[in-house]
Amino acid sequence: MKQKLIAGNWKMNGGLAANKALLHELQQGLAHALDSKHAQVAMCVPAVYLSQVQQLVMGSGINLGAQDVSMHEHGAYTGETSASMLKDFAVRYVIVGHSERRQNHGETDVQVALKAQRALSAGMTPIVCVGETLSEHESGHTEDVVKRQLAAVIHANGHCISEIVVAYEPVWAIGTGKNATPNQAQEVHAVLRAQLKAATSQAERVHILYGGSMNAANAAELLSQPDIDGGLIGGASLKSADFLCIIAAAAR
């Protein structure tokens, strides 16, 4: 059976002391209460903390992740971080196309596809985010939007598309307290799985995560759906007890 993947996304949160305390609590919980054989864990942290977190998670079973990567290899791109730079810190996963990047920084489907390509070329796994806004959801365009977003990534990376992770994050459910029902989430995940199957014979290898306000209370029901292979966790990843509950739900 494929392991579930639980990836935390700290967003623009953290601090040297807080990071150390949180990761210590997580490692204690993972060591004493959970069977890590049934769930993979990653933590995607702000770039300024990659060095610290790399040292803190070493040997713990927690994989290091970044929150973004440049679509450029190197050059005059002040403020950006290249895939080779992330690789220097043993980054395993990198989020690309998060809805906040698409909305706040105007990232296009093509740019997201190129970022995924850079990550793959450096031997990292891109967590490719797709999802619809509230207006797109209410107008019945969910399927069209997520298929368009994923299609761009498949087009640019078709030869190795089975190496990516996909995260469905309904924009209207991120940080709002709202949440897609397990059935609604499963329906979209099934659409994404079918699209991947049309692109590769190894589509079942691809983890499709749910990223719309998964928390300790709803994780078990969401993770019981056949095409939900884990979660991309925002706020709950900053609370050790909540994050451990989600990991435990994934490990069942």
Q: Contact at 8 Å (CB) between 39 and 4? A: yes
Cα separations in angstroms, 82 against 76, 85, 177:
11, 5, 34
Spans in the chain with pLDDT lower than 70: 1, 33-37, 175-177
Give residue for tokens 């999802």.
131
**pLDDT tens readout for residues 26-84:** 999 988 755 556 799 999 999 999 999 999 999 998 999 999 999 999 999 999 999 99
pLDDT at 172: 87
Cα separations in angstroms, 229 against 39, 78, 93, 207:
10, 36, 16, 5
Set 100, 132, 163, 169: catalytic member: 169
Q: Provide the CATH number for the domain around residue 12.
A: 3.20.20.70
Set 98, 137, 189, 207: catalytic member: 98
Told to judge if 98 belongs to the known catalytic residues of this protein, a careful annotator would answer: yes
Per the structure, how many domains does the chain have? 1
- Give the separation between CA 148 and CA 154, rounded to whole angstroms: 10
**pLDDT tens readout for residues 149-164:** 999 999 999 889 999 9
pLDDT at 178: 72
Q: Which domain holds residue 77?
A: 4-250
pLDDT at 33: 59
Q: Contact at 8 Å (CB) between 197 and 203? A: yes
